[in-house]
Amino acid sequence: MYFTAVSKRAYGQFCGIVRAVELIGERWALLIIRDLLVKPKRYSDLRQGLPRIPTNILAARLKELASAGIVRRRLLSRPSGVVYELSEYGRELEDIVLRLGRWGAKSLTEPGREDIVTVDSLIMALRSNFRAGRDASYELHLGDIVINASIRGGRLEVAEGTLPDADLVIETGTAIMTLMAGDVTPAKAIESGSVRLAGNVDLLSRFVDTFRI
C-alpha cells in the first residue's frame, strides 16, 4: 500500500511527523495535493494551476507522490489521456490541508505584486474558512475567476463556474480580503465600490460571517 518516502535526504528519525514531512514536505508537493483535493487533474491542468512550478519538478513530484501511495496515475480513454488523482491515503490529508489554509490565511496581508489567485486556491480558501451557517448559495467573481458556493443543510459545496440560480452574485477583487478579515464592514465595502452585487444584497453579511478568516 505505502512505499518509498518522497525525500531522499532522510531526517533519521522513526516518527510519524518525520514520516509525514518526508512524504509531503518537499517543495510544491502540498500545493499539488491542494489542487488534486479539488478534483482529479491532467498534467497540463496542474501546470496551469501552479504556473511557477518547473515542469521537471512537477513530473518528479507526481512520480514520488505516486510511489508513496498518495497519488494515483490513471489512464483514461475517450478522450485518451492521463489523470492524476489522490488515493484514499492522500484524501485523508484534506482536513490537514484545510487547517493549514486557515492558519496561513491569518497571516496574509496584501497580495504581492506577482501573486496570483487561482481557481483551486480560491475554492480551497472557501472550504478552509467555512463555518457552518444558514443555507444560501453564492456566485463569486474574483478577477476573471468564477466559482460558486452553496450551503445546504449546513454542508458546503464549492465548485468552479457560474450558478444560475445563486441567491447572491458577488463581483470583487483582492479587496475582498479586507472584508473577509473583518477590517471593513460589508456596508463600507459596497459603498466604496470594492464589491458589486446582484441578487439578494442582504446576504453579503451572511457570506462574510460564513467565510470569515
Partner DNA sequence: CCGGATCCTCGGTGATACTG
Partner DNA sequence: CAGTATCACCGAGGATCCGG
Q: For residue 114, which phi and psi values (nearest 5 degrees)?
A: -105, 0
- 8: contact with a copy of itself by CB under 8 A: no
Cβ proximity to a copy of itself: between 51 and 153 the closer is 51
SS3 label, residue 211: helix
Distance in angstroms (rounded) separating the CA atoms of residues 70 and 87: 5
Q: Which does 149 bind (CB under 5 to 8 A by kind): a copy of itself, DNA, none?
A: none
Q: Kindly tell me which of 97 and 203 has the beta carbon lying closer to a copy of itself.
A: 97
Contact 138, 167 (CB under 8 A): yes
Q: Judge residue 116's burial from the number of C-beta atoms within 10 Å of its C-beta, 0-12 exposed, 13-18 middle, 19 or more buried.
A: exposed
Q: Could you tell me which stretch among 18-26, 39-47, 146-154, 165-173 binds a copy of itself (CB under 8 A)?
A: 18-26
Member of 8, 78, 114, 165 binding a copy of itself (CB under 8 A):
114
DSSP 11: -
Q: Identify whether the C-beta of residue 43 lies closer than 8 Å to the C-beta of residue 36.
A: no
Indicate whether 77 belongs to the interface with a copy of itself (CB under 8 A). no
- The binding site for a copy of itself (CB under 8 A) comprises 1-2, 9-23, 25, 27-28, 30-31, 34, 50-52, 68-69, 89, 92-93, 95-97, 99-109, 111-112, 114-118, 121-122, 124-125, 128-129, 174
